[in-house]
Amino acid sequence: MDALIAKGNAVHPLSHKNSKKPQKETDNTLSSIVKNTSLPKSFQSLKHKASSNNAHNHIANKKLRTQLNRTSEHIATSKALLQDAEMLLLEDSGQMQLEDEMERTWRVGQSEISGSVGQEAARGRKEWKLEGGPYRSRYTRNGRHLGIVGKMGHVATFDWQTGQLHTELQLGETCRDFTFLHDHSHFAVAQKKYVFIYDRDGVELHCLKAHIDPTRLEFLPYHWLLASVGNPGYLKYQDTSTGQLVSSHRTKLGSCTTMAQNPFNAVIHLGHTNGVVTLWTPNMPDPAVRLLAHVGPVSCVSVDSDVTTNGGGGGGGRYMATAGKDGTVKVWDCRNWKGCVREWVVRGTGDPEVEWSQRGFLAVASGGGVNVYTKPTLVEPHHNPRITTTHQPPLYLTHPLPHRPLTSLRFCPFQDILTIGHARGLSSILVPGAGEPNFDSGEADPFEGKKGRREREVRGLLDKANACTCTGSCPSFFVLRSSFFIQPDMITLDPSSIGTLAPPSKLTTTTSVTAVSSELNSAALGSAKSDIPYARLPRYERLRVSGKVDEEDDDEEDEDHDGDGGGRKGNGNGKKEDREEREKRKMRGKGKSLKRYLRKQRKNVVDPAAVSASLGFGFLFCFFPESSPGPGLPSRLLSFLAIRKKLEKQKEERRIEKMVAIGRIEGERKPSALDRFKRGIRRGIEAKTKKVEG
């Protein structure tokens, strides 16, 4: 029968039918050549594994511990990949090299530099002669587009490499500053009364009436925040993705015309008219740092954006340069604020301007020229001990400009170009080695098209609204990402603390009970003394830690208890049990030292009810000596009587004052000239009385 069923191709059960696994397809040709064409192991990239880290083993929550371990491993892997990528960078930033010791780089002019570099690089040397100045300029993050604004209301945006003009506006009113938003399709202008937002075609989109009388603008690209400061002295943050006003801080230092952002942590630096520089975050109503930088008003502030600092991928933010109207330029270390690293006096009149490049070059505009300085001589003391930090650092490049005043300095990202804004327009000069030669197309791509720009904008919005974001506002070409939201509350001076576990509280102490238990178990377990947080300590232990318990009282108490419990010391554990009982009694509030401390606290407090009760017990003990508590009763009784007499005297004085107030008795009246007659009459009566008695 089974043979007939098998012959008829009977249907098998479904479980048996699906039990067969699909066979893997193999390519014989590929298998034959894969051994000879595979990459040798010596050339294969090793997988970067984070070292076993036991920093989170103390966390009891398994889910939180796993997440923190995964985050730390991801950060370590990203740093290792960053170091590997730096080794593969092909382009290198060059500088002007000296062939002879007698040569100087600052003697080389722009005409000689333009003739020595390539044709593509020489196109960066331009002159724009414009009316309506002085002008200020701003580049996009990828360095492809340039925006300019004149004080008389002339606004224009264009592609400076191809010469394509996007828009040109004649607003007809005072314009003080200009900034691009997330890309060149939107920009903001600080006009006479409010901040206005325009699109690439010059169409007005929004009027931000909350930003009154603005003077300076900054845009935080990772947080999508537009920051403005104006003559009223308010720093305001506007979220350009939702349109909400995030925060408004009153600086309390008057009008402000100087502002810069730190590209490493998105902190806003403000310079004020009293020489103070303040650092602001949207989550703090007061400045995070307040620094007295100059004796006069601060004219310009700039923060270092060198990507080679802060561990190679930090995006700068280590040094800050300030220029004051007192004619001095100072370089500060943002890590300690212990004093300026270097300072010097600039030549010429007018308000000095400073600007950092991507490779750490510092441009200083003063008087009728621009000077460029380089690292490391810019931030390090001179090798000659006779030369102090107040001397001017070695000059790298200089360029004279007769068009005064010089109002703005901007380095073009990823290019060796410095754009100078002045009264007659703008001038672009070549500064060899100022720009970063390598760029990350995921962050800022100079060659991105329409599709790439759209994808980057959507990705930026998703990073802001959802998870997988970067911490801080760092424009480095390798961004470490973690599973946290980009919110204004995350802006802090140290962005590396975001996503880490808070350190344990240091308000801990070792109690005597835990000390005893640790001493008992130290031999067996080999563990240290356990610490208990201050908030969880008993009342007596908190008083002991605060220094409000007299140690002599503890010694006396220990001696008393040792004397009482002498019969219990026969066995080995009698003393230990005695100490445990004493500790329990102290924790319950029955200790002698605690009572003595509370009695000292009530020593100078006079309570009539308590005094009366004490006097009653005192007289009771006097009449019944057998119930006397001890030999100290007479002294205490005298003190009680003195206090009672004092209270009765005060009560009588209050009664007399009350009777005088209602007029029942006469109070003390002021002396008058007629009192001498009363004294004479009183003396005569006393004399007659003595004669009669005699």
Gap between the Cα atoms of 356 and 264, Å rounded = 14
Poorest-pLDDT segment among 168-182, 296-310, 614-628: 614-628
pLDDT digits (tens, 9 = 90+) for 264-278: 999 999 999 999 999
Same domain for 211 and 253: yes
Same domain for 626 and 535: no
pLDDT digits (tens, 9 = 90+) for 220-265: 999 999 999 999 999 999 999 999 999 999 999 999 999 999 999 9
Q: What is the pLDDT of residue 77?
A: 85
Domain range for 514 is: 508-560+580-596
648 confidence band (pLDDT: 50, 70, 90): confident
164, part of any domain: yes
Gap between the Cα atoms of 209 and 219, Å rounded = 17
Q: What is the pLDDT of residue 439?
A: 85
Gap between the Cα atoms of 35 and 38, Å rounded = 6
Burial letters 431-469, b for 16+ CB under 10 A, else e: bbbbbbbebeeebbbbebeeeebeebeeebeebbeeeeb
Q: What is the pLDDT of residue 249?
A: 95
572 or 504: whose pLDDT is higher? 504
Same domain for 265 and 238: yes
564 confidence band (pLDDT: 50, 70, 90): very low
Q: What is the pLDDT of residue 254?
A: 92
482, part of any domain: no
- Tell me the CATH number at 339: 2.130.10.10
Same domain for 109 and 218: yes
Same domain for 364 and 222: yes
pLDDT digits (tens, 9 = 90+) for 140-157: 999 999 999 999 999 999
Q: What is the pLDDT of residue 621?
A: 45
Q: What is the pLDDT of residue 64?
A: 87
484, part of any domain: no
pLDDT digits (tens, 9 = 90+) for 29-80: 877 777 777 767 666 666 655 555 567 787 888 998 888 888 888 888 888 8
Average of per-residue pLDDT across 492-517: 62
460, part of any domain: no
Average of per-residue pLDDT across 521-533: 48
pLDDT over 50 at 473, yes or no: no
510 or 111: whose pLDDT is higher? 111
Q: What is the pLDDT of residue 444?
A: 87
pLDDT digits (tens, 9 = 90+) for 305-335: 876 655 444 457 889 999 999 999 999 999 8
Most confident of 19-23, 408-412, 549-553, 601-605: 408-412
Q: Which residues pair with residue 301 across a beta bridge?
A: 322
Same domain for 202 and 119: yes
562 confidence band (pLDDT: 50, 70, 90): very low
Do residues 411 and 355 lie in contact, with contact meaning Cβ atoms separated by under 8 Å? yes
569, part of any domain: no
441, part of any domain: no
Secondary structure of residue 649 in the 3-state scheme: helix
347, part of any domain: yes
Residues found in the chain: 694
Same domain for 628 and 552: no
Average of per-residue pLDDT across 557-561: 48
pLDDT over 70 at 514, yes or no: no
Q: What is the pLDDT of residue 529?
A: 45
Return the sign of the alpha-carbon dihedral for residues 670, 673, 676, 681: negative
Q: What is the pLDDT of residue 593?
A: 72
pLDDT over 90 at 686, yes or no: no
89, part of any domain: no
pLDDT over 70 at 10, yes or no: no
pLDDT over 50 at 631, yes or no: no
299 confidence band (pLDDT: 50, 70, 90): very high
Query: DSSP per residue over 166-195, as a string?
Result: EEEEE--S-EEEEEE-SSTTEEEEEESSSE
Same domain for 633 and 541: no
Q: What is the pLDDT of residue 694?
A: 55
Q: What is the pLDDT of residue 305?
A: 85
Gap between the Cα atoms of 50 and 74, Å rounded = 8
Same domain for 197 and 137: yes
Average of per-residue pLDDT across 7-13: 54
Gap between the Cα atoms of 293 and 274, Å rounded = 9
The H or E element spanning position 370 is strand 369-373
Most confident of 74-88, 240-254, 488-502, 545-559: 240-254
Tokens of 483: 């599973």
Q: What is the pLDDT of residue 571?
A: 47
Q: What is the pLDDT of residue 156?
A: 96
Q: Tell which of 571, 596, 621 closes a domain.
A: 596
**How many domains does one find in the chain?**
3
* Percentage of the chain lying above the pLDDT 90 cut: 35
477 or 581: whose pLDDT is higher? 581
Q: Tell which of 430, 461, 484 closes a domain.
A: 430
Same domain for 519 and 612: no
| Dihedral-angle region of residue 9 (phi above 0 means left; psi in -120 to 50 means alpha; beta otherwise) | left
Average of per-residue pLDDT across 484-499: 76
Specify burial of residue 4 (Cβ count, 10 A radius: 0-12, 13-18, 19+).
Answer: exposed
Q: What is the mean pLDDT of the chain?
A: 77
Q: What is the pLDDT of residue 637?
A: 58
Average of per-residue pLDDT across 107-133: 88
Poorest-pLDDT segment among 524-533, 551-560, 601-610, 625-634: 625-634
Same domain for 375 and 238: yes
Same domain for 640 and 533: no
